[in-house]
Amino acid sequence: MAQTRYRQIYNILKSRIQQGTYAIGDYLPSENELCKTYKITRTTARKALDELLKEGFIEKQHGKGSKVKERRQSLGLLTVKGFSEAVGENVRTIILQKPQILSWPKELPFPADENELNAPCIYFERLRCVGDVPVMTESNWFSAHGLNRFLDCEFVDGSFFKTLSRKYLIEVTGSEQELRALFADEKSAYLLKIEQGFPILRISIKFTTSKPDLNIYSYLYCNTEKYPIGNIYTH
């Protein structure tokens, strides 16, 4: 078996959710139905559903079923309030540097895991704007291992994480972050169209994913003057 059985079922269900076969609000087949359909036991069916639950695709209701949830597009745990969510339509993303192979930088936002550095490094850089106002620069590093043809492919809906999910079946499983208030340096000031020395927020992130040896390392430099970083959290 190349994959575990529950992982196969998980993948089937996940892709059907993503393709809209099971739409938001729909109920997945019950655990017993899954057992019959795929000739598995409930333990295995439940394990597959548990994975979907962990990743926020479904919500379980005792006595009713497993309901497809609206996926909380969580950029780790940070969402930009009045930005990708609230502003919605008005958000623009400018690619400053398309994904390309670079050597690993001397310093990453967080120390990398050992194995990651064995593969080449992919780097890309974007600028996020609300209307015409640039509010955040974003630099991303990650290992190219297992991401075949990543450089050639277009982002799904312009989203990096959606691309990982849809094309490579990789989900973000967690993140570690660090926040720092800094004077804007020359580059940030130029990109964000502010004066050098203006206070900006730097967010250092390490995203962990469902793929071992794949973490995403990012720096976000944010002009929080008009668009502070919002962070919604429900326990």
Partner DNA sequence: TAGTGGTCTAGACCACGGT
Partner DNA sequence: CCGTGGTCTAGACCACTAG
Query: Would you tell me which residues interact with its own copies (CB under 8 A)?
Result: 43, 54-55, 76-77, 81, 172-183, 199-201, 204, 222, 224-225, 228-235
Of residues 20, 37, 42, 105, which one binds DNA by CB under 7 A? 42
Q: Residue 71's Cα: distance from chain center in Å?
A: 11
Q: How far is the C-alpha of 170 from the C-alpha of 206, rounded, in Å?
A: 15
For CA atoms 167, 168, 173, 175, the dihedral sign is: negative
Q: Which does 222 bind (CB under 5 to 8 A by kind): DNA, its own copies, none?
A: its own copies
Q: How far is the C-alpha of 215 from the C-alpha of 213, rounded, in Å?
A: 6
User: Contact region for DNA (CB under 7 A) — 16-24, 38-46, 86-94, 221-229?
Assistant: 38-46
Nearer to its own copies, 121 or 218 (CB): 218
Minimum CB distance to its own copies, residue 4 (Å):
13
Q: Which does 182 bind (CB under 5 to 8 A by kind): its own copies, DNA, none?
A: its own copies
- Subset of residues 60 to 119 that bind DNA, contact rule: CB under 7 A: 60-66
With vertex at residue 183, the alpha carbon angle to CA 180 and CA 188, rounded to the nearest 5 degrees, is 95
Nearer to DNA, 66 or 188 (CB): 66
Beta-bridge mates of residue 75: 78
Q: Residue 21's Cα: distance from chain center in Å?
A: 22
Q: How far is the C-alpha of 61 from the C-alpha of 25, rounded, in Å?
A: 12
Q: How far is the C-alpha of 218 from the C-alpha of 142, rounded, in Å?
A: 9
Q: Which does 84 bind (CB under 5 to 8 A by kind): DNA, its own copies, none?
A: none
Residues lying near DNA in the complex (CB under 7 A):
1, 4-7, 27-28, 30-33, 39-44, 46-47, 60-66
